[in-house]
């Protein structure tokens, strides 16, 4: 059987991290089996749908690196088809008109609550004809659900799950105004799109029983269901914003790479032995439903940071320069000189960062304008003696022909020896002069990257700082 799966978000909000994992699992499953990954926007609830959220979902999937097959299906464009299926079910006898008024339904709920019973529709119009219908009441269309036996689902993650049919009532398929309900729309769309596997969060598990009954009411094949355990916070509680229940675009702003986030979310509920670093190509080769665990997984920012650090170190330097440039200059100009420095110094920078935010912060001194601002620790080193040493060193190194790390280090060591001081007495204020802080890549690497003119210029600036 050719695999066809779908990701079907409701545009009531942005692409949150749980939805991104669901999309990823569907995408990997399709790519692993050489099938199709379809995208459907379930926008039939116009009151709750946010147009900007549709754009954000699409942009989020593109940034996340998940490409879909074919055109995006907007569920609202298919409402006439959904209603036609309800009419066909009426003709088959697997659905019926219900003329209950809102007052009658409320009275039913009040009575059931008082009697301590579950609140379910009691099938008042299940066996009554339109001739008994009250005047002026527009009916809804309800599913004629089985009242005995049980509905069983062979779930790809949860195993065999079942519910007694007496616990399910005759759900509404078509509202009195002729608009279809979510349950009907999902089933019709999945059938018409040829969906073979429905992979989604286990908060939809109860929906699967109801949807299976609609499939049977139309004599349609039921897709294979797999319901994923939800993501929890580190404390085991339901994932909230303080845990990381954020939109994908927020992870982008926090400086995570899409490939790192894919790897992290893959391991958040799926495993292949003890493998932790799983590039996307390898994930496509390995991914399948049996690797999904049944227990909720716990979101851990520390693990995500470590994984992102790995992918930063593996990333192409030119790509990283492009990614951090907007974080460095804001509305200012990013010159070719800036780009060249960052490209030359990227290996040293990315070894010390776990996110693009950290990488940009670490790289800021390479693109800072002179005179370079000093942080408090760097300024504390700008004593008169340190300023004298740095200024004198600047004159000593300027004539060096080979502006590379080894000759620069040799000259700085010779200079320190000639001044009768330890290397640190020169190297520490030198670092302050060139970077404005006390943490940076190796100081001789920094000198090489900055080049002769910028290096000696910053050293000269340091030498003229006023005050102790």
Which positions are catalytic?
241
Q: How many CB atoms lie within 10 A of CB 438?
A: 15
Tokens 């699992």 found at: 25
- Helix (H, G, I), strand (E, B), or coil: what is residue 4? strand
Tell me which residue of 155, 150, 159 sits closest to 200, measured CA to CA: 155
Q: Return the H-helix or E-strand segment holding 235.
A: none
Q: Please, which residues have CB within 8 angstroms of residue 247's CB and are 6 or more apart in sequence?
A: 13, 14, 15, 16, 17, 56, 60
* Whole-number Å distance between alpha carbons of 239 and 423: 52
Helices 182-192 + 205-217 axis angle, to 10: 70
Query: What are the backbone angles phi and psi of residue 162, rounded to the nearest 5°?
Result: -145, 160
Report the chain's C-alpha Rg in angstroms. 32
Estimate the share of the chain in helix, then strand, then coil, as percent rounded to the nearest 5.
Answer: 50, 10, 35
In contact, 1 and 196? CB cutoff 8 Å: yes
Question: Going by DSSP bridges, is the β-strand pair 140-143/95-98 parallel, antiparallel, or unpaired?
Answer: antiparallel
Query: What are the backbone angles phi and psi of residue 370, rounded to the nearest 5°?
Result: -80, 150
**Partners of 260 in beta bridges:** none
In contact, 249 and 55? CB cutoff 8 Å: no
């Amino acid at each position: 059987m050719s695999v066809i799966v779908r990701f079907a978000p409701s545009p009531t909000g942005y692409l949150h991290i749980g939805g991104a994992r669901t999309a990823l699992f569907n995408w990997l499953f399709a790519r692993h089996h050489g099938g199709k990954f379809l995208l459907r926007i379930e926008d039939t609830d116009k009151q709750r749908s946010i147009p900007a959220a549709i754009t954000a979902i699409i942009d989020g999937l593109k940034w996340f690196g998940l490409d879909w097959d074919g055109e995006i299906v907007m569920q609202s464009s298919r409402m006439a088809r959904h209603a036609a299926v309800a009419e066909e079910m009426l003709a088959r006898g697997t659905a019926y008109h219900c003329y209950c008024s809102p007052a009658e339904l409320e009275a039913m709920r009040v009575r059931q609550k008082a009697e301590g019973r579950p609140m379910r529709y009691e099938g008042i119009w299940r066996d009554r004809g339109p001739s008994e219908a009250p005047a002026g009441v527009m009916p809804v269309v309800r599913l004629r659900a089985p009242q005995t036996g049980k509905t069983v689902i062979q779930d790809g993650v949860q195993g065999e799950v079942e519910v007694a049919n007496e616990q399910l009532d005759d759900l509404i398929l078509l509202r009195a105004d002729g608009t279809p309900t979510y349950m009907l729309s999902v089933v019709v769309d999945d059938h018409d799109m040829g969906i073979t596997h429905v992979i989604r969060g286990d908060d939809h598990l109860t929906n699967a029983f109801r949807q299976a009954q609609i499939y049977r009411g139309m004599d349609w094949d039921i897709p294979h269901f797999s319901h994923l355990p939800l993501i929890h916070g580190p404390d085991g509680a339901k994932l909230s914003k303080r845990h990381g229940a954020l939109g994908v675009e927020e992870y982008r702003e926090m400086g995570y790479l899409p490939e790192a986030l894919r790897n992290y979310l893959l391991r958040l509920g799926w495993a292949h032995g003890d493998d932790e670093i799983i590039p996307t190509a390898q994930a496509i080769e390995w991914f399948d439903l049996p690797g999904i665990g049944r227990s909720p997984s716990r979101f851990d920012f520390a693990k995500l940071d470590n994984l992102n650090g790995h992918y930063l170190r593996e990333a192409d330097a030119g790509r990283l320069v492009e990614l951090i440039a907007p974080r460095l200059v804001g509305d200012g100009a990013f010159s070719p000189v800036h780009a060249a420095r960052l490209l030359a110094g990227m290996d040293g920078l990315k070894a010390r960062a776990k996110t693009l935010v950290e990488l940009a912060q670490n790289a800021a001194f390479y693109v800072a304008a002179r005179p370079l601002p000093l942080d408090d620790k760097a300024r504390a080193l700008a004593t008169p003696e340190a300023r004298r040493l740095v200024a004198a060193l600047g004159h000593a190194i300027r004539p060096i022909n080979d502006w590379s790390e080894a000759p620069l280090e040799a000259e700085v060591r010779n200079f320190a020896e000639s001044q009768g001081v330890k290397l640190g007495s020169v190297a520490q204020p030198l670092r302050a002069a060139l970077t404005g802080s006390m943490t940076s890549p190796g100081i001789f690497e920094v000198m090489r990257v900055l080049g002769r003119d910028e290096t000696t210029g910053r050293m000269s600036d340091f030498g003229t700082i006023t005050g102790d």
